[in-house]
Amino acid sequence: MDMVEDVLAGRVRGIARMMSRAEAGGGDCRAALAEIYRHTGRAHVVGLTGVPGSGKSVLARVLARAIRASGRKVGIVAVDPSSPFSGGAILGDRVRMTGLSGDPGVFIRSMATHGAVGGLARASLDSVDILDAAGFDMVVVETVGVGQDEVDILQAAHTVVVLSAPGLGDDIQAIKAGLLEIADIHVVSKCDRADANRTLIDLQGMLTLGVAGGDAWQVPVLPTSAENDEGIGDLLAAIDAHRAHLEDSGGIALRRRRIAETRILGIAEDIVRTRFAGRHDGRLAGLLDRVMAREVDPYAAAMDMLAASRED
Amino acid sequence: MDMVEDVLAGRVRGIARMMSRAEAGGGDCRAALAEIYRHTGRAHVVGLTGVPGSGKSVLARVLARAIRASGRKVGIVAVDPSSPFSGGAILGDRVRMTGLSGDPGVFIRSMATHGAVGGLARASLDSVDILDAAGFDMVVVETVGVGQDEVDILQAAHTVVVLSAPGLGDDIQAIKAGLLEIADIHVVSKCDRADANRTLIDLQGMLTLGVAGGDAWQVPVLPTSAENDEGIGDLLAAIDAHRAHLEDSGGIALRRRRIAETRILGIAEDIVRTRFAGRHDGRLAGLLDRVMAREVDPYAAAMDMLAASRED
């Protein structure tokens, strides 16, 4: 459990090593991750989503700088399903750019589909756990938000921030992606642009229509310009206000339940899907043949497959 | 097994009764459905998808009339997740309109989310099985094609027909819905309209770019006008040609494997999700509490949940 101790002590190398092992999906680190999970629950997790080109990665970094400036430790987990690269190295340049380099109170990790065995959501949320257990006060999980895995990642956050950008063809990208309902905070990026105002007004109009929200929380629409460092303080204030609202209203219990449900269900589906994809497993390949030969019906095969999953 | 015998004999009342029981999701008809599944594999299943307003339901019905005119028995399973109504009654008018009424060689069933317990895909594909076992030569499954359940339904067809309509804002709706890759045949509806030509040309351009296809099958783009009964014969000819291509090229084995995989995996996920949603099950509710209390980690909880599914 040296590895776990390194994480709990907040040692950067230990954190990175544990993340790599978690990402590799090996069953050998499940016990360590289970131990780490016991030490989680303190960090506030922010899910940040926006279409490619919305300036999501830059926003995550200037937000991290603002969190750090408020005296808190911050982690970023950047989920990029389109990238074949995982780890931290390729982000070096961007880290330097935003002045976050060399600060042990900031940890940035990028996750990619190809590096993750057994589900991107599972691997990403394991990394969030590791940062949480390591004493990071806030963790920003950044994702495009398309596909079940990425929606699961967002659903596992305490505060969901949805980023829209002007001039990307469809003015309110959140609607297109079906993310309007899960947004706790809307952000419009690139507000130095002339057409940003229309995006702001459109989003505010949508919210007035009652498409989003439902509890007492008033979903804000915040203009930002990461380049000019405008609106970032307001964004952090809104995140902190949302956190306070969850705690004061008791909504945090429901949110924690949603997070636990999303994670358990996502992992269960991963296990089922992974088992099934592993054709080298003779039993399931045989099951498929028997269904095709009409010897077994799909329902019985599914029950059998779930039984096989259990024996993993 | 009287119910099964009624289905195998092609008795209309028996078919309708079996579908209702399958849709109700009761475990009591699983044995009957397993028996029915053993008698499937003869029907050619056509998945038909298109956005609301594309004229999908009308196309399904004129296509059914053409299939019937070629001397074959035909079933339609209309999947409408937005409708609270299931069964056959509400479709009576439309059946009469298309001259299909009173013909025992045509069976039309509508499926709705609210009537289906344990997954719309599962219930819809059970109905396809019932029609297949009852001796219907072709079954057309009609669905909007949005969401995992509906994509699963399409993936469980031998021939996938994707319908686009001119003048719905986005000219190639198939791209938006991510359905381009799974289309075996493209159809453009409402070709009496002046703007239909652009939709045809856009689709043909897309296919030339090699976005779709992959095997030797050349995905056709067919103009139709259901109102004027134009292009329907060509569509049926294309479906028959695709079926012949699958059989001649050996592609039918791969397709059958995809169908079996999709069905098994979909049912397995349904079982997992249904189990989890059933909070009256004290064990799983307790599991969730323990995850929230950090006594158990999500991975262990997922394994436990799969174990519980087995004991169903």
Say if residues A82 and A194 touch (Cβ distance below 8 Å).
no
Task: Report the C-alpha gap between B49 and B147 in whole angstroms.
Answer: 12
Closest CA to A146 of A171, A127, A128, A120: A120
For residues A149-159, give the mean pLDDT: 85
Q: Could you tell me where the beta strands, DSSP code E, fall in B24-121?
A: 44-50, 74-80, 106-112
Nearest to B164 by CA among B241, B255, B49: B49
CA–CA min distance B308, chain A (Å): 9
H or E element: which one contains A112? strand A106-112
**Contact assignment for A310 to B310 by CB distance below 8 Å:** yes
Interface test with A, best of B8, B265, B270 (most A CBs within 10 A): B265
Closest to A177 (Cα-Cα) out of A54, A45, A22: A54
How does pLDDT run across B58-107, given as a tens digit for each residue? 899 999 999 999 999 999 998 865 554 445 434 443 444 455 667 889 99
Per 3-state DSSP, chain B is made up of helix, strand and coil in percentages (nearest 5) of 55, 15, 30
Q: How far is B296 from chain A (nearest CA, A)?
A: 7
**CATH T-level topology, domain A40-249:** Rossmann fold (3.40.50)
Residue B105 has phi, psi (to 5 degrees) of: -85, 0
What is the topology classification, in CATH, of domain B2-249? Rossmann fold (3.40.50)
Q: Nearest Cβ partner of B299 from A30, A294, A299?
A: A30
* Domain assignments of chain B as residue spans, ordered by start: 2-249, 278-310
Considering chain B, what percentage of its residues have pLDDT values greater than 90? 35
Mean pLDDT computed over B244-267? 89
Which chain B residue has its CA at the smallest distance from A297's CA?
B34
Distance CA B218, CA B93 (A): 37
> How far, CA to CA in Å, does B209 sit from each of B38, B148, B172, B186, B213?
42, 27, 14, 15, 10
Identify which has the larger pLDDT, A101 or A163.
A163
Residues A30-85: tens digit of each pLDDT: 889 999 999 999 999 999 988 777 888 889 999 999 999 999 999 999 886 555 44
- Answer whether B261's CB lies under 8 Å from B269's CB: no
> Could you report the per-residue pLDDT of A183-225, keeping only the tens digit for each?
899 999 999 888 888 888 888 877 776 544 445 788 999 999 9
ipTM: 0.76
Checking if the pLDDT of A127 tops 90, the result is yes
A297 contacts on B by Cβ (under 8 Å): 33-34, 37-38
**Which residues on chain B are in Cβ contact (under 8 Å) with A30?**
299
pLDDT of residue B210: 54
**Strand-pair category, B44-50 with A44-50:** unpaired
- Residue B93 CB partners (closer than 8 Å, separation 6+): none
Q: Does B302 sit within 8 Å of A268, measured CB to CB?
A: yes
What is the end-to-end Cα distance of chain B in Å, rounded? 23
Residue owning tokens 């690269």:
A85
Which residues in chain A are contacts of B307 at CB distance < 8 A?
A: 310
Which one, of A288, A147, A126, A142, lies nearest residue B302 by Cα?
Answer: A126
**CA-based nearest residue to B205, from B221, B189, B224:** B221
Q: Give yes or no for a contact between B145 and B151, defined as CB atoms under 8 angstroms apart.
A: yes
Q: Which of B165, B141, B152, B5 is nearest to B76 (CA)?
A: B141
Site of tokens 């397993």: B34
Would an 8 Å CB–CB cutoff place A271 in contact with chain B?
yes
Mean pLDDT of chain B: 81
Contact A294 B148 (CB under 8 A): no
**How far apart are the two ends of chain A, measured CA to CA in Å?**
23
Q: Does A283 touch chain B (CB under 8 A)?
A: no
Nearest chain A residue to B156, by CA: A298
Query: Residue B21: pLDDT above 60?
Result: yes
B299 shares contact with chain A (CB less than 8 Å): yes
CB-CB neighbours of A300 under 10 Å: 20
